[in-house]
Structure 1
Amino acid sequence: MSSKNQAANGKASHNNEREFGGTLGAVCIPIFLPLTVLFLVCVSRSPEAAVLQWPPPLPTIDQLWDPLAALLILSWISLHAVLYLLPFGKVSEGLVLRDGARLKYPINGFHSLCISGVLLILLLMLKAPVGSLYELTLPLAACAIGVSFMLSVFLYFRSFLAPPHALALGGTTGNPLYDFFIGRELNPRIGHFDLKFFCELRPGLIGWVVINLGMLMKEVELQGSPSLAMILVNSFQLLYVADALWNEEAVLTTMDIVHDGFGFMLVFGDLAWVPFTYGLQAAFLVLHPQALSPLGAAAIITLNGIGYYIFRKSNSQKNQFRRNPAHPSVARLETIATATGKRLLVSGWWGLVRHPNYLGDLLMALAWSLPCGFSHLLPYFYLIYFTVLLIHREARDERHCRAKYGLAWETYCRHVPYRILPYIY
């Protein structure tokens, strides 16, 4: 996007567009989403595991606070901050900013995952009670929520020290509640340490895998061995996290990094929502074991494999095209020229639907839930939430691209009429 177009869109965003329900959403979401996290954790630990039970299971103050949980959260974030700074991997440049600069990012998230894995193996060899993470899940979630609020407050106030070109388009409405929620500064940094990039894929995403392992070890304590359903859930979600970190460079072209400010919305999502709601299937299976036949397991593995293949291939094609349209793997794909000088893909994976990566994501989400059977709604929370999230994100993308590409986007939509699901939506 050119500086002129960005300025125009920034003005429109400032005057008219407020996402996520505007001020009302900015007030309600920071209240209800943390409560939702705590509620879902409580439900996953209750014998009924019923999302709609009344009265709902509510935690007491004693259950929400544990000094060990606070120590673990702070130690975990500190560990990954140190790993972020280590000279592993390569350094990659982000997209061009409004002032013409390109920030540099250390691409070493996969190294952090591997080091975390080695440390966990050592803990298991030393007979550390990793399964106790199950009992600590509630205070861990409460501490993660507390850290999210504190970091968001820090980011909001420090954003007033940032130069105008460093602020996010749409994050400077002048409404303190909304700007706190959506994020004022685009790429807040302490020296060369990029806070948004660090939080995006490091402590929360890898923490999700660690919590899953804790659930598996708790099941081993209770049942003597992990169930096939638990092994599948852990394996699928580990693959997802490992893939994200192996392809960490691709996050530099996403809306989160390129467009959105770093405020409560992303901070809470990265540090609290992801690790404590994305792994509800593993938490559910601890007290609600499910029998899974070899044929059923094979079908679920196949479904996850198909979803992963679509997700990875489509994302790789998009990222390669964005970085080097002349690369042999994408050079022959059909495109549409735009007034910005960029071209839109209308063949390959992106000629099938407008968001084939979302289709792959949803197939994987279904595969993560199926090992938990059909007796409870809780394991399908992620699938339901993610469907709503991706439809909302697709609508945001649609508005953004329509404003950015104009008639070229209309032409693209005629070529690719389906958004996520071929011939349906």
Structure 2
Amino acid sequence: MPEKHKVPRTTELEFGGTLGALCLPVLLPLTVLYLLLSCRTPDASLLPPPPLPPLAQLWLPETLLLLLGWGALQGGLYHSPSAVPGGVAEGMVLRDGSRLKYPINGFSALLITGGILSVALHCGLPLGYIHDHMLPLAVSAGIISLTLSLLLYLKSLCAPASAIAPGGNTGNPLYDFFMGHELNPRIGSFDLKYFCELRPGLIGWVLINLAMLMKEVELRGSPSLAMILVNAFQLLYVVDALWNEEAVLTTMDIVQDGFGFMLAFGDLAWVPFTYSLQAHFLVTHPRELSALGATAIAALNALGYFIFRRANSEKNLFRRDPSAPRVSGLETIATATGKRLLVSGWWGFVRHPNYLGDLMMALAWSLPCGLSHLLPYFYVLYFAALLVHREARDERQCLRKYGLAWERYCERVPYRIIPYLY
């Protein structure tokens, strides 16, 4: 077993430390089941909690095989030809000075998946099966996530010191299992964290949304305007993520966090089964939407997407080429590390303009479900909490990294996400 005493121990614990690492692997799966069960009740009420169905309705071996097959398909497409020239990107510099290579072909994987699905639907694939078996599918996704997390932790015990995640090296097996002990676990050139981050769960989210639309067609003869908007908005979000796949290589998930239960469950179970909640809700609780209301909601989503995309593009361009005409005139603050902090443009507006766009889009995804139920707004509330927590983590890291330069930046840009409010 490799020596790990030279690797700095993690001292700042996230997500409630050991208590959080003990409770969250239980609470998160229960939350997914709670939301899915609530979606199917006549009044979609969150209280009292819906009764738990018998085991036969929660566990079906065929759903486990179905998800394993889905993962195998996406794993095969991971090695498919890229949709962009070059097809390979380098990650950030690692502790040992190396840089891992990643295939940039998520968008082509989405297109190929769509082509396969189109043929299957033409041949009579009963996509409504997904709606009818959401509970056992979610349970199977949880089982796969837990099994993968255990295998990842065992693998990490044999990983070299340079591969250990800075945020998952406490020496507490429970916490390190939850946060992820190894930063970039790989089988050969197959990067497990990078694959799970953008492939089976994210594309699966689109598939579940489409299944809900098909179920609505089965029940009512045609999809509602509300369902079409939810599908279109969220498809745009996924297409954007996969088209700009290289940008994920600089995110906290890839650079800082190890691959453990937190990310494995989030990628494979939480994202596809909770992010699709609005479409799921509309199957059982249809909503009429006027043309004016649809136009206003679409405008909100478009504005949120514009802010989100422009802010991210500005940051990524500045990192790649600060002399590019679009960013060369922006004002910056020098740091002791040699990097510069943007204090004009989108990043001089608020510290996290991409989060502002994200929240506007999240609200637009829920509004087609009407205002009479809280359940479709779970994503907005959860995502707001997630972004505030992530922003706080980012602030602490930037303060440690940039010191006085970061303090000057915060003085120049006082608002974190929402101008004049937060």
Q: Residue 25 in 1 paired to residue 20 in 2?
A: yes
Matched, 1:319 2:313: no
Deviations 1:170-216 (A, max 9, x none): 21101011000000111100000000000000000000000001100
What is the match of residue 57 of structure 1? 51
Shift in Å at residue 87 of structure 1?
3.1
**Partners of 1:207 and 1:37 in 2: CA distance:** 16
Aligned partners of 1:112, 1:43: CA distance in 2, in Å? Answer: 33
Partner secondary structure for residue 78 of structure 2: helix
Structure 1: 4+ residue segments shifted above 3 A: none
Match of 1:209 in 2: 206
CA distance in 1, matches of 2:82, 2:348: 37
Which residue does 2:327 correspond to in 1? 330
The aligned counterpart of 1:355 is: 352
More deviation in 329-338 or 201-210? 329-338
Paired residues of 1:219 and 1:226 also in contact (CA < 8 A):
yes
Which amino acid is the alignment partner of residue 237 of structure 2? Answer: Y
Match of 1:306? 303
Per the alignment, residue 42 of structure 1 pairs with 37
CA distance in 2, matches of 1:323, 1:200: 23
Preserved contact between residue 308 and residue 360 of structure 1 (Cα < 8 Å): yes
What code does the residue aligned with 1:186 have? L
Q: In the alignment, which residue of structure 2 is the partner of 1:118?
A: 115
Q: Report what 2:259 is aligned to.
A: 262
Cα drift, residue 66 of structure 1: 1.6
CA contact (8 A) 1:43 1:57 kept: no
Match of 1:79 among 69, 73, 76: 73
Which one-letter code corresponds to 1:75 in the other structure? G
Query: Residue 364 of structure 1 is aligned with which of 361, 365, 371?
Result: 361
* Distance in structure 1 (CA, Å) of the matches to 2:160 and 2:393: 26
Does 2:98 correspond to 1:104? Answer: no
Percent identity between the two aligned chains:
68
Q: How far, CA to CA, are the matches of 1:410 and 1:376 in structure 2?
A: 42
Question: Partner letter of residue 82 of structure 1?
Answer: G
- Unpaired segments ≥5 residues, structure 1: 1-6
Q: Give the aligned CA root-mean-square deviation in angstroms.
A: 1.3
Tell me the equivalent position of 1:4.
none
Report Cα offsets for 1:349-370 as digits up to 9, x if no partner.
Answer: 0000000000000000000000
Matches within 5 A, 1:286-305: 286-305=283-302
Matched, 1:423 2:406: no
Structure 2 CA distance for aligned equivalents of residues 256 and 314 of structure 1: 19
Residue among 389, 393, 399 paired with 1:392: 389
Whether 1:154 aligns to 2:137 is no
Identify the range of structure 1 (163-172 vs 101-110) with the bigger mean alpha-carbon deviation: 163-172
Once the two structures are TM-superposed, the CA of residue 17 in structure 1 deviates from its matched residue by 0.5
Q: Kindly state the Cα deviation for residue 55 of structure 1 after the two structures are TM-superposed.
A: 4.4
Partner of 1:402: 399
Matches of 1:411 and 1:239, distance apart in 2 = 36
Question: How far off its partner does 1:338 sit?
Answer: 0.6
Q: Contact 2:81 / 2:108 at 8 angstroms: preserved in 1?
A: no
C-alpha distance in structure 1 between counterparts of 2:110 and 2:392, whole Å = 33
CA distance in 2, matches of 1:246, 1:288: 33
Gaps of 5+ in 2: none
1:181-196 matched pairs, under 5 angstroms: 181-196=178-193
TM-score (norm 1): 0.96
d(CA) in 2 for partners of 1:209, 1:305: 19
CA contact (8 A) 1:183 1:262 kept: yes
CA contact (8 A) 1:187 1:196 kept: yes
